[in-house]
Amino acid sequence: MKKKYMYAVACSVLCSAQAMAQTAYDAARYAGDELNGTARFVGMGGAMSALGADISVIGTNPAGIGLFRGHDVSTSFGMNITKAESDFNGSVMNDKRNKASFDQIGFVYSTKIGNRTTLRYLNFGFNYHKSRNFNRVLAAGGMLGGLSQTQQMANLVGGSIHSISDMDDIYNYGLEGHSGLSNPYDPYYSNYPYLGVMGIRTELVGVGTLSNGKQAPMGWNGNANGFRSREEGGINEYDFNVAFNVEDRMYFGITLGVNDVNYTRSTYYSEDVYDGNHSGYYELRNAFRTEGTGLNLKLGAIFRPIEDSPFRFGLAIHTPTWYSLTDKHSSEIYSELNYKFEDEADNMQFKADERTTTYAGESLQDYRLVTPWKFNVSAGTTLGSALALGAEYEYAGYNACRMSYNDGTPMENQNQYTKSILKGQHTVRIGAEARIASAFSVRAGYNFSTSAFKDGAYKSLNANDIRTDTEYMNDLSRNTVTVGLGYRGKWFYTDLAYKYDVYKSDFYAFSSEALPVTKVTNERHQLLLTLGVHF
């Protein structure tokens, strides 16, 4: 393969107003939630939607607030330990992180209407809790066997580059970036993908001659790679509730949820490359941040069908969350390449080292995301005053996520892509609480959630994409085990819970059908303490 390489200069790549930036992986990230809240709620695996009388059910079945018969104030905080072990072709890496967290604070104001009235209690509640914890670290890498991220860079511009002169136009355009470049092969499109442009300007993408004589963009061969990422932030949910107790047999509630998204991710990717007598390495760094807010409603009902029985069942519907989000993204590539040339006339050889850096200046895009509906059914009962049992099932159709530009124009291609790689998620929760003394209880719970990703899901970067982060991770089914301990005094109570969360993921540093999967085992240990008063 014959290539032409060009001298590189530093550049700043500006964003295009309608360039595609979001992916189905962003939609899945903000549509999901996790088991978190008060230590009692977590200790029972969250299976309290039908049992009620805990502030955290405000976010699962709002009718559960109707079971309070007094005022309640609580706050929760704890410690999280996250671990990730990756295995790529036998190369195993580990990383972990410890971080304290403030997880919940809320209150219930209970108003007694009467003992013989149809409406017995009218209750109001507010609760803040961290519904999603994004803190996660990952280290992965190993031998590539000739596969390379630079080949994906070349593929991104493959439909737009047809000669060396096309490559020169991109390379020599100047410091203004690529946004003014004209693509003569597509009159409706005037921009090239960021990652392809950055690859060209750091000499990681060149033009080669194919066997049929045509010229096309070509990448290098990859020898070994390394990847590290750090994710931080979460989704903070603020729930406002009103609930009704009707004849101590029927309970109804509605919750207005206000979500605050704060997510950051930084990644570092390095690769050793070669091509014949040429060799070198490069580094790609990405910084990504999302901020925004969303609104949703949760409607719930709980019924006690048999007057003399404590058994009850619940139904709840969660509307989509309507998000307004802003993405900020920046990246840079540094390459250090060693070229070896041979002068055929004098039979002499010499080396030339090229060190180049190219930057993608911060791109910013506002957009809207609509998450799927959620449906929850639950059941619970008590056996005297010694034992409480709860179980529930929840469904969310992730493939129904929809994204649009800030002016309301749908992202049709991304929405179809989201529908093709995401699917419905099923979650089952069970829990139990046993009183071991007049003031002390022990708890245990279990959650199981199926994957929201279809088999073979992958991240699609398009020819007009401003994204330069090629990596993606398909989370598989999740198992969560919890235990807890509680103390109840006359007015003061405290609870302690431990949660062990484990799930596997399929990770890919870039898109290639031949790239072996990196198997990742994710673990999270959470210790949670709740302090509260009931009066």
**What pLDDT does residue 12 have?**
35
For 475-494, the pLDDT digits (tens) are 999 999 999 999 999 999 99
Phi and psi angles of residue 309, each rounded to the nearest 5 degrees, phi first: -115, 140
| Whole-angstrom distance, CA of residue 147 vs CA of residue 218 | 12
For the chain, what is the domain count? 1
**What pLDDT does residue 228 have?**
97
Asked if residue 1 is part of any domain, the answer here is: no
**What pLDDT does residue 175 have?**
38
Residue 58 CA to chain centroid, in angstroms?
23
Provide the token pair at 398: 């992730």
**What pLDDT does residue 341 have?**
55
For 67-92, the pLDDT digits (tens) are 999 999 999 999 999 999 999 989 99
**What pLDDT does residue 209 have?**
72
Phi and psi angles of residue 126, each rounded to the nearest 5 degrees, phi first: -140, 140
For 189-199, the pLDDT digits (tens) are 346 788 888 88
| Whole-angstrom distance, CA of residue 116 vs CA of residue 247 | 8
Torsion of CA 152, 155, 160, 166, to 10 degrees: 70
pLDDT, the chain, mean: 88
Phi and psi angles of residue 31, each rounded to the nearest 5 degrees, phi first: -85, -20
| Whole-angstrom distance, CA of residue 463 vs CA of residue 65 | 51
Q: Which domain holds residue 225?
A: 7-534
**What pLDDT does residue 20 have?**
54
Q: Which residue has the tokens 């008063």?
A: 533
DSSP 51-101: T--SGGGGGT-GGGGGG--S-EEEEEEEEEEEEEEEEETTEEEEEEEEEEE
Question: Given pLDDT bands bounded at 50, 70 and 90, which one contains residue 19?
Answer: low
- Report CA torsion sign: 176, 177, 182, 186: negative
DSSP code of 202? Answer: T
DSSP 426-458: EEEEEEEEEESSSSEEEEEEEEEE--SB-TT--
User: Which residues touch 504 (CB under 8 Å, ≥6 apart)?
Assistant: 475, 476, 477, 519, 520, 521, 522
**What pLDDT does residue 363 have?**
80
DSSP 234-269: EEEEEEEEEEEEETTTEEEEEEEEEEEEEEEEEEEE
Whole-structure pTM value: 0.88
User: Which residues touch 440 (CB under 8 Å, ≥6 apart)?
Assistant: 485, 486, 487, 488
Asked if residue 97 is part of any domain, the answer here is: yes
For 285-309, the pLDDT digits (tens) are 999 999 999 999 999 999 999 999 9
Indicate the range of 11-20, 144-153, 338-347 predicted with least confidence.
11-20
**What pLDDT does residue 338 have?**
85
For 199-225, the pLDDT digits (tens) are 888 889 887 776 676 777 889 999 999
Q: Given its phi and psi angles, is residue 114 left (phi above 0), alpha (psi -120 to 50 degrees) or beta?
A: left
For 420-460, the pLDDT digits (tens) are 999 999 999 999 999 999 999 999 999 999 999 999 999 98
Question: Given pLDDT bands bounded at 50, 70 and 90, which one contains residue 462?
Answer: confident
Q: Which residue has the tokens 């302090």?
A: 531
Asked if residue 149 is part of any domain, the answer here is: yes
Asked if residue 2 is part of any domain, the answer here is: no
Indicate the range of 25-34, 310-319, 356-365, 410-419 predicted with least confidence.
356-365
354: pLDDT strictly greater than 90: no
Rg of the chain on CA atoms, in Å: 28
Q: What average pLDDT does this structure show over 259-267? A: 97
Sheet holding 206-209, edge to edge: 3-4, 206-209, 215-218
Q: How many CA atoms lie within 13 A of 45 on its CB side?
A: 26
For 21-43, the pLDDT digits (tens) are 688 999 999 998 999 999 999 99
Q: What average pLDDT does this structure show over 119-134? A: 97
For 404-426, the pLDDT digits (tens) are 999 999 999 889 999 999 999 99
The length of the chain, given as a count of residues: 535
14: pLDDT strictly greater than 80: no
Question: Given pLDDT bands bounded at 50, 70 and 90, which one contains residue 339?
Answer: confident
Neighbouring C-beta atoms of residue 266, cutoff 10 Å:
14
Asked if residue 499 is part of any domain, the answer here is: yes
CATH number, position 186: 2.40.160.60
Q: What average pLDDT does this structure show over 258-285? A: 94
Question: Given pLDDT bands bounded at 50, 70 and 90, which one contains residue 141?
Answer: very high
In the chain, the N- to C-terminal Cα span, in Å, equals 79
Question: Given pLDDT bands bounded at 50, 70 and 90, which one contains residue 372?
Answer: very high
Q: Is 494 exposed, middle or buried (0-12, 13-18, 19+ CB in 10 A)?
A: middle
353: pLDDT strictly greater than 80: no
**What pLDDT does residue 201 have?**
84
